[in-house]
Amino acid sequence: MSNYIRKDAKIFVAGHRGLAGSAIVRKLRSLGYENLLLRTRQEVDLLDSNAVSSFFAEQRPDFVFLAAAKVGGILANRNFPADFIAQNLRIQSNVIESAYRAQVKRLLFLGSSCIYPKLARQPMGEDQLLTGPLEFTNRSYAVAKIAGIELCWAFNRQHGTEYLAAMPTNLYGLGDNYDLESSHVLPALIRKVHEAKQCGNRTVTVWGTGTPLREFLFSDDMADACVFLLNLPKDEFHKLTGNPEMAPLVNVGSGSELTIGELAKKVCEVLEFDGEIVFDTTKPDGTPRKLMDSSKLFSFGWKPKISIEEGIRIAYAEFSGKSQSPVEDVNERTSSHESKNRARDSVALDRSDCADPGQRQRN
């Protein structure tokens, strides 16, 4: 890995308690970066433009990872579309504008694969952006993320900044959200299968038909890619941010896919659950296929390290409280105290009520 970022550089990780942000912090610390600017929402509310502006003016970070966002699964996106678009637009605008005023050297903005059209050509390359209608269930979130890409691009064109937008595929990993009301599919499956085992149930219900194809990436692999990108030598980084005719956009994926049904089977295998998987076809499937073309990223020499089976084992070890530092043996990284506490809290919650499992089968 190139070392464009000096070890003593001031690095602001916005959203450092989330799935993506906490993984970036682990990666930076594993590489010897200790001058990290980490702020909770109580310390700096990223929705407050004055608070963000004051923070940047006082601290003047050299580099920024913008991993803060309001995120959620199908149910949360369907129920709270106004929150998803309004809050994400404010966070992005506040941080990116303040970064420019503070003369931040490089910024990496984290988006999502949902920016691409519902029926985009597969695998989805960066050139598929804005070529067709979006998936309706998360349209508000996707539009906000597209606006973030455009904001980075506009600042690069007008002010010569070096802001890059990285679009990860579906993430899972340490410190994930296991709330069935708002989680994504993989952590939801882990919790559902775990609860079925705990309660002695013989079935696990999964939303939809099980046929949609999805790509997954372990959060620590995503973090490795993000630090790799921001550390690229100047000429290589400029290839991604310096072309006024091309969005400063790079996909971050694993390059492999499987159906939701196959994913559910893998979770059952890893968790040693031999019951039946039931598909609730009255619930929405979402986009039929989502595989990202990450060849641009791969061309710079980066590749993921953690397989889906290994990733599920690591995530479940943390969730179930069986491992104190589950990722250490895989990538010589140490999980945070906060993420371990969240995992134990999740286990305590999911053991609380086995009376009516049908009410708790949401993705």
Spot the catalytic one: 33, 141, 163, 178. 141
Query: Known catalytic residue: 4?
Result: no
CA distances from 43 to 14, 40, 92, 199 (A): 12, 5, 18, 41
DSSP secondary structure, 69-136, as one string: -----HHHHHH-HHHHHHHHHHHHHHHHHHHHHTT-SEEEEE--GGGS-TT--SSB-GGGTTSSPPPG
Dihedral pair phi/psi, residue 96, rounded to 5°: -70, -45
- How far apart are the C-alpha atoms of 170 and 218, rounded to whole Å? 9
Q: Which amino acid belongs to residue 39?
A: R
| Residues sharing a CB contact under 8 Å with residue 153, sequence separation 6 or more, in sequence order | 163, 165, 247, 248
* Catalytic machinery residues: 141
